[in-house]
């Protein structure tokens, strides 16, 4: 049911029987299983990941033994997506059969998402180069809403004969510690999908035997009921709107104090995170002197802010810059 939610109820990927699926131990488990399946299918592939990316992407995928290479994604100086450089690197250096890890929405750690036009362009480039999409969809519903956040995935599923998806219910269902994830592989044929599903099951059996049930049962019960699904969507939308409000409030506070570029970037970004243009030393100053907690990379959790302290947060950020 979760797959229908993100691929689309009437998606050809869902109705054709070409989709291999399995419950995974959270988004991390789905990423590892997806990477293991990719290695089984093509041991010579290189996995391309964005710079920057979620800190655990490289350890999870690298633990399979697959080589990893970076592609440019976000320029911390301009605070914008480096789309031209991203396309140039993949066009000139990725080889046929390579894999490209793409954040489906709410890019972690930057919050900077591809536009519809950029999704179309990167999809066409990857088709031309015969590259495999590997989509990490960890925050569906927390950016612009469930359908909009699934745009890139649905576009790729409609264009490509094969792709791999790692999805998580940790944030959008509030089930982080229950480890509820989905690994899915779109195959060329229904028979190939069955074989892929069998391989996923065998791989999982060797690694963790089976994922926990309680969180997955909660998701299944919610999505099996129209009433519960409607309630969940309403609550998810409330969470999303709250984050949008916090993001805009911080942007407004920064803009008033003359930090127009940072304000513009934060307002345009999606989801839980933004990447502040600070050094590790400045991040440490924010933590030690201002009690503003963020990673050394500059990643800050917008959802952890409060409206009543937004002005103070803005002042603290500008104080260290």
Catalytic residue among 136, 149, 166, 216: 136
SS3 184: strand
Q: Is the dihedral of CA 305, 311, 313, 317 positive or negative?
A: positive
* Cα separation, 291 vs 251, whole angstroms: 20
Catalytic residue among 22, 24, 138, 185: 138
Catalytic residue among 22, 25, 39, 54: 54
> How crowded is the C-beta side of 112, counted as CA atoms within 13 Å?
24
Catalytic residue among 82, 157, 171, 216: 171
Instruction: Say whether 171 is catalytic.
Output: yes
Residue with tokens 């976000």: 74
Helices (H), the chain: 2-7, 12-15, 26-41, 57-62, 83-93, 116-129, 146-149, 151-159, 190-207, 214-223, 226-256, 260-268, 280-290, 310-320
Instruction: Say whether 144 is catalytic.
Output: no
> How crowded is the C-beta side of 209, counted as CA atoms within 13 Å?
2
User: Hey, which bits of 146-282 come out as E strands?
Assistant: 163-168, 180-186, 273-275
* Cα separation, 151 vs 164, whole angstroms: 15
- Tell me the catalytic residues: 54, 136, 138, 171
């Amino acid at each position: 049911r979760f797959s229908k939610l993100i691929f689309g109820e009437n998606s050809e990927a869902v109705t054709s029987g070409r989709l291999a699926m399995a419950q995974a131990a959270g988004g991390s488990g789905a990423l590892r299983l997806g990477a293991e399946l990719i290695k089984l299918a093509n041991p010579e592939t290189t996995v391309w990941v964005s710079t920057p990316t979620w800190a655990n992407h490289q350890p999870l995928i690298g633990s399979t033994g697959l080589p990893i290479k970076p592609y440019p994604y976000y320029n911390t100086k301009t605070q914008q997506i480096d789309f031209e450089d991203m396309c140039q690197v993949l066009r000139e250096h990725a080889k046929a059969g390579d894999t490209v890890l793409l954040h489906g929405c709410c890019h972690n750690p930057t919050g900077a998402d591809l536009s519809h036009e950029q999704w179309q362009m990167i999809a066409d480039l990857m088709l031309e180069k015969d590259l495999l999409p590997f989509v990490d969809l960890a925050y569906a519903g927390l950016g612009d809403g469930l359908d909009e956040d699934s745009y890139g995935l649905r576009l790729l599923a409609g264009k490509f004969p094969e792709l791999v998806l790692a999805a998580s219910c940790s944030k959008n269902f509030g089930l982080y510690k229950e480890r509820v994830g989905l690994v899915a592989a779109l195959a060329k044929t229904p028979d190939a999908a069955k074989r892929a599903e069998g391989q996923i099951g065998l791989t999982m059996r060797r690694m963790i035997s089976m994922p926990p049930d309680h969180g997955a049962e909660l998701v299944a019960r919610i999505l099996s009921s129209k009433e519960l699904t409607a309630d969940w969507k309403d609550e998810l939308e409330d969470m999303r709107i709250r984050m949008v409000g916090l993001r805009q409030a911080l942007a407004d506070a920064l803009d008033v104090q003359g930090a127009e570029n940072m304000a513009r970037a934060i307002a345009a970004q999606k989801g839980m995170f933004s990447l502040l243009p600070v050094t590790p030393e400045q991040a440490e100053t924010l933590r030690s002197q201002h009690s503003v907690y963020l990673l050394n990379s500059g990643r800050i959790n917008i959802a952890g802010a409060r409206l009543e302290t937004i002005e103070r947060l803005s002042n603290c950020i500008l104080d260290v810059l």
